[in-house]
Chain A
Amino acid sequence: KAGVTQTPRYLIKTRGQQVTLSCSPISGHRSVSWYQQTPGQGLQFLFEYFSETQRNKGNFPGRFSGRQFSNSRSEMNVSTLELGDSALYLCASSYGAEAYEQYFGPGTRLTVT
């Protein structure tokens, strides 16, 4: 079974631009979570989706948004990019509604210049 895939793997953007990252979960998984990883703040939870519904959101500004499609694929969007948004963005998928086992993708490395 293929793992979680994230595209693109690397991205360079300029301050003020917006970006969309994509995540395809493991086949059959319906829960998708997003995390931001930076050297200073570590791993921080962004949001979680199940069956196209956002069930939980972390403490990030409204510039960070996401959605999930009917095929469980998910996208996250960051508008008006800031230098501090440079990070590794990780997506994780889980099978059931309780999302006990979260399997992570390789991440998208975003650099904002």
Chain B
Amino acid sequence: GEDVEQSLFLSVREGDSSVINCTYTDSSSTYLYWYKQEPGAGLQLLTYIFSNMDMKQDQRLTVLLNKKDKHLSLRIADTQTGDSAIYFCAERLKGSSYKLIFGSGTRLLVRP
């Protein structure tokens, strides 16, 4: 079935690394995404990974995919106060569905 789960809240100190986790249930996922939403704003596409990849790095962001466990993580290095936001994991299923299935979001709070 279609289900994406995330923990609700994460608090880290400025300068530390943050790791946001996500699990999904549908093994036919093709692409997995991370979006960021700041208060009063839309969703910002941060990065995405194709399901045949294990890892993708983009500047301070590292995405790890464990397809066997259906686990996706986003690591933010040197976390800044500007990284405080809600982070959504999303999956896109095989086939021409075109829709993204989102998790409920993880609120990241960066303490100075």
Contacts and interface: CB of A to CB of B under 8 A. Distances in A.
Given A42-B104, A43-B88, A100-B31, A48 B99 contact: yes
Given A42-B104, A42-B105, 8 more contacts: A43-B88, A48-B98, A56-B96, A90-B42, A100-B92, A101-B48, A102-B100, A104-B43
Interface string A53-81: 00110100000000000000000000000
B48 A104 contact: no
B88 A56 contact: no
B98 A99 contact: yes
Interface residues of B, number: 21
A107 B45 contact: no
A55 B42 contact: no
A105 B42 contact: yes
6 closest A-B pairs (Cβ-Cβ)?
A: A45-B99, A43-B102, A104-B43, A104-B42, A106-B42, A48-B98
Interface of B: 31, 35, 41-45, 48, 88, 90, 92, 96-105
Given A42-B104, A42-B105, A101-B48, A106 B99 contact: no
Nearest to B33: A102
A99 to B, nearest CB: 5
Contacts of A103: 45
A39 B50 CA distance: 29
Contacts of B44: 104
A90 B43 CA distance: 8
Contacts of A43: 88, 90, 100, 102
A24 interface: no
